[in-house]
Amino acid sequence: MTTTTTLLEEISVPEGIGRPIPDAATREVIAYAPVHTTEDLDRAIADARAAQPGWAALGHAERSRILHAIADEIEANAEELAVLLSREQGKPLNGPNARFEVGACALWTRSAADTPLEPEVVFEAGESRAEVHYEPLGVVGAIGPWNWPMMISVWQIAPSLRMGNTVVVKPSEYTPLSVLALAAVFNRHLPEGVLTVVSGDREVGASIAAHPGLDKIMFTGSTETGRRIVEASAHNLARLTLELGGNDPGIILPGTDIAAIAENLFWGIFLNTGQTCAALKRLYVHDSQYEQVVETLANLAAAMPSGNGLDEANVLGPLQNEKQFDVVRRLVDDARARGARIVTGGAAAPEHGPLFYQTTVVADIDDGAPLVDEEQFGPVIPVIRYSEVDDAVRRANASSQGLGASVWSSDVDAATEVARRVQAGTVWINQHGAINPNVPFGGIKASGYGQEFGVAGLKAVAAPQVIQR
């Protein structure tokens, strides 16, 4: 008789050795994650350095074949991965949530394998010719977040592997199990040392940023932490890709068909219960349609089922951790104290679990309130009036952050004209937060620098070499 070991059993360590990881919805312990040290990090980077030449020598075609095999493996284990992700992170299985995220892992892995990156002829005259080739950097250190732990890890891992690098991953302390399980699936097809997860605390994360054995650091997380990584990496001049916080604005232009955009607008705001860097976080609406938009969002918010993510009926889940729950509660309480109108929601939802917060729409609020000026990262949207489009653009651009933005209108040409004036790495028209593995993605201002996805993403994890004759 044979027994099958689950991914969770494969990656967990015994109680008393590891750190307890709670279910985001119930707060019951799921399993115990390994607690790696800086010495473990040193060994992982040394192993990655030793494995890198052999991995690079396989060539693009073989590495791409292996990535396709990994994508197949992800799909074969999709439901087990989705259930673990739902429990640890909190997002429901259904809707644009856990099953969606696991599917995106396979999609982005295949895209990294299939995106062509040929040598570029940049000069040619007579017998003179200059070409740009792209070679592996070496070892990539990847530091991921807790909101989309599997998908964003793949954004870092898959292109790095495709280009012949080896990777050492440091997952968030809140969601290590998801990343450990994903890496276990990858490692069924990778040589030893090519991909290692170091599941440690903040000390390990800080050591990655300053480690002399890394050639590239990729980080998704807060602007504050991103600044510390820039400072720490100065000593070894590691290349950086930083996808930092966002306080994305949306502008609804006068005369827009609100019913036609309502569903896209809602999910642009409340995707992953609002816990998305590139979610719409402050919405500017013209006086003429202000109350209609507020009422439409409030009705949708009241109708969307929230609760434990393993319940197939739910599409909204809890805040992932106590710290983020406290941020959301503080910002809404402050808005209420300032006289803002809480149209729907505005309180905890303990009937669902300790860290659930009602889906909340806040009206009659303005710039200067913390709920507008800060990134709430939760199921709350402040809706702000404007009278002139130029003023809405000015206010949208007033933030120090510039990850994403959106313009909404029944006149796509008018929306595009306004979009060109908005300061953000991506400006969507009649949608928000939609991403494509072939389309570059990255922020400006305090939202970081460097691009991911497609050809730009491959180049970001490669060393350009000019061959000139």
Q: Rounded to whole angstroms, how far apart are CA atoms 246 and 226?
A: 13
Is 105 a residue of the active site? no
Is 243 a residue of the active site? yes
Catalytic residue (one of 73, 75, 88, 243) = 243
Single out the residue of 167, 171, 168 nearest to residue 150, CA to CA.
171
Strand partners, 185: none
- Measured from the Cβ of residue 115, the count of other Cβ atoms closer than 10 Å reads 18
Q: Rounded to whole angstroms, how far apart are CA atoms 453 and 231?
A: 26
Catalytic residue (one of 75, 88, 277, 452) = 277
Name, in order, each residue with C-beta under 8 angstroms of 197's C-beta and a sequence gap of 6 or more.
Answer: 168, 169, 170, 171, 176, 179, 180, 183
Q: Rounded to whole angstroms, how far apart are CA atoms 272 and 279?
A: 9
Q: Rounded to whole angstroms, how far apart are CA atoms 277 and 85?
A: 18
| Chain Cα centroid distance, residue 138 | 24
Name, in order, each residue with C-beta under 8 angstroms of 43's C-beta and a sequence gap of 6 or more.
Answer: none
Local structure of 62: helix, strand or coil: helix
Burial class (CB in 10 A: 0-12, 13-18, 19+), 119: exposed
| Chain Cα centroid distance, residue 388 | 33
Integer CA distances (angstroms), 139 to 78, 108, 127, 226, 429, in order:
28, 20, 37, 20, 38
Q: Rounded to whole angstroms, how far apart are CA atoms 310 and 317?
A: 10
Name, in order, each residue with C-beta under 8 angstroms of 432's C-beta and a sequence gap of 6 or more.
Answer: 248, 250, 264, 265, 268, 269, 278, 279, 280, 404, 406
Single out the residue of 274, 277, 275, 293 nearest to residue 285, CA to CA.
293
Q: Which residues are catalytic?
A: 243, 277
